[in-house]
A and B are shown apart, each in its own frame.
Chain A
Amino acid sequence: MIINHPLLGPRDAAEFVHLGDASLIDRPNWQAEDAAAQFLDYAYMRDNPAGELRELWYHEQGDRSWLVVTRNTLTHEISSVELARDVALARGRDR
């Protein structure tokens, strides 16, 4: 599988480590009233779609960047690759 890194171009999947669902970026506020319930959901509840999934990949044997990769779990087709930092900034995180 080839992942088209937004900064470095096409790279072999062997250079990357797969973490899982990109919803891990949306870490709940630990000070919220229902923080325990939110963290239960955040830590344990995962969608397991047969189709497109946004995933976090880490370019460990490369530039050490985190990526959000949109991959089809049935065909392994990758439709989009973004820097996780850009995704997090777009969602209002400060860094």
Chain B
Amino acid sequence: MPEFTLTAKPFLGGYSRDFNGTTLTEATDVSITSIAQPLGGREALAKAVQSAWGCALPTPGKTVEADDGHRMFCTGPDSFLLTGPALADPAGDAAKALKGAGYVTDQSETWVTLRLSGPQARPALERICPVDLHPDALPAGAFARTVMEHLGAIVLAEGGDTFTLMSASSSANSFLHAIEVSLQNVG
């Protein structure tokens, strides 16, 4: 019987490119876990999140920075995303930390994460993203779940000219292409 060794590879092969001083890089060191609030379980989840990661539940459209490099997004009235450092079993860890106060699912393999930073970041995104990216409308730590080039995406403002972009890993190359073309068009 032939022996196989499977090797995990980033969706975009660890892509990194400089566009005249604006950099676009695939982030390969993140784990993503979704947390859904059980019906009527708001208070219990808030308490569990506070003791697990030392932060309050974020409000819609906002994120909060939590302990150990985690960040929590409020993606809907009763749903949250937790991003953090790459872990072997992020959902298992989250489930243990929450002690049943939230329903958790490992989403690390379903999202591709890109970091876009530099003076052309905002002009390039403005062309493909219908959300207002002005720092007054989307301050550091705020995010929007929206659509870019027909692909669902999350855009997180990191402050200044830096954005974290997330989209479905199954269409990672199309998403990358959309950002690349827009960067070339403004470049």
A interface residues with partner B (beta carbon < 8 Å)? 7-12, 14-15, 61-65, 83, 85, 95
CB B144 to nearest CB in A, in angstroms, measures 7
Instruction: State A85–B40 Cα separation when bound (angstroms).
Output: 13
Residue picked from A9, A63, A85, most chain B C-beta under 10 Å: A63
- Given known pairs A8-B144, A9-B61, A63-B145, the reply for A14 and B77 (CB within 8 Å) is no
CB B139 to nearest CB in A, in angstroms, measures 13
Q: Once the chains bind, are A15 and B76 in contact (CB under 8 Å)?
A: no
Q: Once the chains bind, are B130 and A14 in contact (CB under 8 Å)?
A: yes
Instruction: State A91–B98 Cα separation when bound (angstroms).
Output: 34
For A10, the closest partner residue in chain B by CB is B132
5 further contact pairs, Cβ within 8 A, besides A8-B61, A11-B146, A65-B76: A12-B131, A14-B147, A15-B147, A64-B75, A85-B77
Contacts of A61 in B (CB 8 A): 145-147, 152
Contacts of B79 in A (CB 8 A): 63-64
Q: Once the chains bind, are A63 and B39 in contact (CB under 8 Å)?
A: no
B interface residues with partner A (beta carbon < 8 Å)? 39, 60-61, 75-77, 79, 130-132, 137, 144-147, 152
Cross-interface CB contact of B76 among A12, A14, A63, cutoff 8 Å: A63
CB A66 to nearest CB in B, in angstroms, measures 10
Q: Once the chains bind, are B130 and A7 in contact (CB under 8 Å)?
A: no
CB A84 to nearest CB in B, in angstroms, measures 11
Instruction: State A7–B74 Cα separation when bound (angstroms).
Output: 11
CB B98 to nearest CB in A, in angstroms, measures 21
Contacts of B61 in A (CB 8 A): 7-9
Instruction: State A28–B156 Cα separation when bound (angstroms).
Output: 42
Q: Once the chains bind, are B77 and A11 in contact (CB under 8 Å)?
A: no
Show 27 residue pairs from A and B whose CB-CB distance is below 8 angstroms, ordered by the A residue: A7-B60, A8-B60, A8-B144, A10-B132, A11-B130, A11-B131, A11-B146, A12-B130, A12-B131, A14-B130, A14-B147, A15-B146, A15-B147, A61-B145, A61-B146, A61-B147, A62-B144, A62-B145, A62-B146, A63-B75, A63-B79, A63-B145, A64-B75, A64-B76, A64-B79, A65-B77, A85-B77
Contacts of A83 in B (CB 8 A): 77
CB B113 to nearest CB in A, in angstroms, measures 18
Instruction: State A8–B145 Cα separation when bound (angstroms).
Output: 10
Instruction: State A11–B145 Cα separation when bound (angstroms).
Output: 10
Contacts of A9 in B (CB 8 A): 61, 137
Contacts of A15 in B (CB 8 A): 130, 146-147
Instruction: State A4–B54 Cα separation when bound (angstroms).
Output: 32
Instruction: State A14–B132 Cα separation when bound (angstroms).
Output: 14
